[in-house]
Every structure is written in structure tokens, then in C-alpha cells.
Amino acid sequence: MSDGGDPGIEVVGLGPAGPEGITSGAASLLASGGPVYLRTTRHPAAAGLTVAGSFDDVYDSEPTFEAVYERVVDTLVSTARRHGRIVYAVPGSPLVAERTVVLLRGHPAVASGAVRVVVHPAMSFLDLVYARLGIDPLVEGVRLVDGERFAIDAAGERGPLVVAQCWSADVLSGIKLAVDPFPTRPVTILHHLGLPDEAVTTVPFADLDRTVAPDHLTTVWIPELTDPVGAELLRLDELVRDLRLRCPWDRVQTHGSLAPHLLEECYETLEAIDEVAMVDARGGHGGRAAADMAAPIGLDAAGEAAVAHLEEELGDLLFQVYLHAALATEAGWFTLADVARGVHDKLVGRHPHLFAGAADAPVGAADLAASWEAMKKREKGRTSVTEGIPSSLPALALAAKLQRKAEAVGLGEAVGLGPDDRDVAARVREVVSRAHEVAVRAQGGAGEGAGDAGIGALLESVVAAARACRVDAESALRARSNALRSRIEEVG
């Protein structure tokens, strides 16, 4: 094979271990003289191959594996268009757990026929896994899942499972933490199969992340899970459907009749959140960065009670979501899975800076807010970013919401909400001054409606000051009201 000719990509697999696993057909293509590109040189069979290049450097320059794979595919397609036919070699089999091949087949240039892709079968790591375990995957009913996506891909599964891509201790820990309670049967870690340092180790599930130093050639065999991953969510879904069939109260509910209960549960959840916020404030935990979340927070008795209350109220709120989804399912409108899928896909689409790999995606908080509003407006076909804001929101919450919208469309300065370097004290003094002006006007007998307008302007400035101080005005006022309630209760 030589440069020139119609653009094409011959995809071959290097097998699961050393060079002896490469098929004769793949060996012929690799030695044909045309350009050979490796997804990675970190594979035992890659040593000694004459290649035009690899994509090892892309792993270091891209933030996610998906971004790596997309860039690999784009490079392969553009290279094939320049050079004609090329060979692309991947570890194992191109047809098993090889994301770049999936993306390559779906690339617009390939789908249109502008670039031809031929995928050649090869020996997979699964062949060695099944040989070492001594099982027939068809008889056992084995399912293959990705280690990084274990909590998602294994949802509802009881096993047996082959868990691939267990390339780090964090991945193994994530698998372990996704299962509760731990299965009683041990699991098997298969490491460097087909190589001189091959290790097949059976350990208790609790020791899954304590046994080997994993890498890209590590796989886990889980013969049986005690309870499926995500079992509690599945049990709640089944319970709600059962209640709709058998409970006289649940059976007669409608979306309309449930609305007051949903509102009540929202307020009760907010109250529980306030309690937990007080726990955070006492312990200095508020606003912890995501990177710190792995460290558990020590709680006193009051803190444990507040957290338990929040857990309970979130459950009550979740029950309302499940109920409304059950009603919609019965009507043939949508299912709970549709709800979860819809919000998942929407959130992915609203975060192009994380998932789309766009070079010009917004990265600052202000840019992200503006981008979010623009995307919502486009998705919903709205003429204004204010569409969809409930007029029934509490007044302080409505003011804060509209102020955020004003900033998102560049009207922050126009309504006095522009950024500045004033501190909290300066913001408070400004509000006090505005309050004094309103009082003077009221005492001076201003015209009808002037008092309403003045108080409205004052409250608007209070909300703006609260937002500048990163305080939610609604929550702050509620906290003061609750404190006043406690004082009243103390005296009678």
C-alpha cells in the first residue's frame, strides 16, 4: 500500500498482549509500506513497529478521553484525505471497547463515503479473560461494562460482569463505592494477561482497590452483585407503580391534585437546606470546592439531625417526581427514563465547555451564564430570556431572578447592578441611604403611588446588595423571620 489513491483507513487490532497476538492479515497491512498510525504506543505489541506516528501526545493535551478520541478521529480523517490510504492500529480488537472506531464510523466524511473505513477483526482481551476464567460467556450471560462508567452501565445488573478499562486505582475505588452492600462472592482481578508478569488474583470485593497497581491492561470479573447498582431507585420506581395500582389515595391522584403537595415538599426541603446551611456555617464548610468533597464532614448531634432531615425531605421530593412521571407514563406521554435522559442530554448540551470540546467555549462564570441564557432562549424558541419565569415566585426571589437575567443580556449597568469593588459595608450604607430617601419622601406627602414606587426601589436595591454580597435575599429574610419567631415563642 502506498500514498495516493482514494482516501481510506484500514483499522487493525494489535491483539491483547504481545506481537504473537497479531493476525496474519493485520501483520500484512502493518508491513505494507503505507503510513501506519497507532492510537498509543503503550501496548506490548506496538514495540518494533515502524509507524508514521501515534497519538500519545493527545492524551496529555486534552482534558477528557472523549476529547482525545474526537481529536484522534479528526486527525485520521484529514490524514487519509491528504495521503490516500493509511493504516490505523489499536490495542486489542477494533470491535471491542474501542471508542475511536465508533466515532470514526460516525464521522461525516465516512458516513458520506468521502473516506472509506475498513475494520479488520482481531483477537480481543476478552478472549484471554474468558480463557483464564474458564467460562463460556454465552452460557454465563456475561455483560461487558466500562470501569469509568460502572455506576451507570451496571445499573440494574446482578452480574456476571466483565469490567474493562480499569486503568487506575480511582476507577477501582469508584466501582467499589457504587455497590452497597458489597457482594459476598469474591471478585477476580486480571492483570497483564498474556504477558510474562500476568497476574490473576481473586480477592474479597472490599479489597478490589487494594490488591494491584492497575493500568490500561487491568480487567475485573464480578460473578455476582448482591443488589443491582441503582437498586434503590429501581425499587422506588416499582413501589410507585404498585401504589398507583393498589393504594386508594395514590390511585385517584392527578397532576393537578399533586401540585399542592409538590409545593409543600419544596418548602419543607428548603427549610431542611437552611438547617444544613447553619451546620455548614458553624463548621466552616460552606462553599467547599468540588475537589474537597471527597473529605467527609464531621458532624455533632445537631448536624447529624439536620443532615438526616435533608435526606428525608429530598426523598419526599423525589417521590413527587416519581409520581408525576408515573402519571405521565400511564397517559402514554413520557416515562421516568425519558425525564432522566432529557435532563441529562440538556445538561450536556448546556456545558459545551466540558463535553463539546469547543475551542471557543466560554470558560468564565459570567460568560457561562450568558451562554446558558442564550442556549435556553434558542432551545425554547423564546423571544425573551424572561419567558418561563413564573410570576408567582415570591417577590424577592422574582427580583433576584430578573436581575440575573438583566446581567445575562447586558443590562446590569442600566439597572444599577454592574460590578464594582464596593465591600459589604458600602452596599449596606447605600441601601440605608436609599431607605432614608424613601422615608423623607413619604413624610413629605409625596403623590399617590410614590410610596409604593419608593419602597419597591428600596427592595430592589436590597436584592441587588444581597446579590453583590453573594447572599440570597429570600433565605436571609426567612432566617431573620425564623429568629423572630423563636423570640416570640420564648415570651409567649
DSSP state of 291: G
At residue 139, the pLDDT reads: 93
**How many Cα atoms sit within 13 Å of 83 on the Cβ side?**
20
Query: Is there a contact between 144 and 194 (Cβ–Cβ < 8 Å)?
Result: no
The pLDDT of residue 396: 73
Which of these, 427, 438, 433, lies nearest to 471 by C-alpha position?
427
What integer pLDDT is reported at residue 274 of this predicted model? Answer: 83
Query: Could you tell me the domains of the chain?
Result: 4-123 (3.40.1010.10), 127-229 (3.30.950.10), 232-340 (1.10.287.1080), 416-491 (no CATH)
* Calpha distance 451→457 (Å, rounded): 10
Q: What is the tens place of the pLDDT at every residue in 204-231?
A: 999 999 899 999 999 999 999 887 778 7
Contact 142, 162 (CB under 8 A): yes
Residue-level pLDDT at 4? 52
Q: Is residue 57 within a helix (H) or strand (E), and if so which, with residue range?
A: helix 56-61
The reply to whether omega before 196 is within 30° of 0 (cis) is no
Q: Which residues of the chain have pLDDT under 70?
A: 1-5, 281-297, 356-388, 390-393, 407-425, 427, 438-439, 441-452, 482, 484-485, 488-489, 492
Model pLDDT for residues 301-321, shown as the tens digit of each residue = 888 999 999 999 999 999 999
Cell numbers describing residue 355: 463535553
Residue 284's pLDDT is what? Answer: 54
The pTM (predicted TM-score) of the whole model is 0.58
Sequence-separated (6 or more) residues with CB below 8 Å from residue 87: 1, 9, 10, 12, 29, 30, 32, 34, 35, 36, 37
**How many angstroms separate the CA atoms of 436 and 444, rounded?**
12
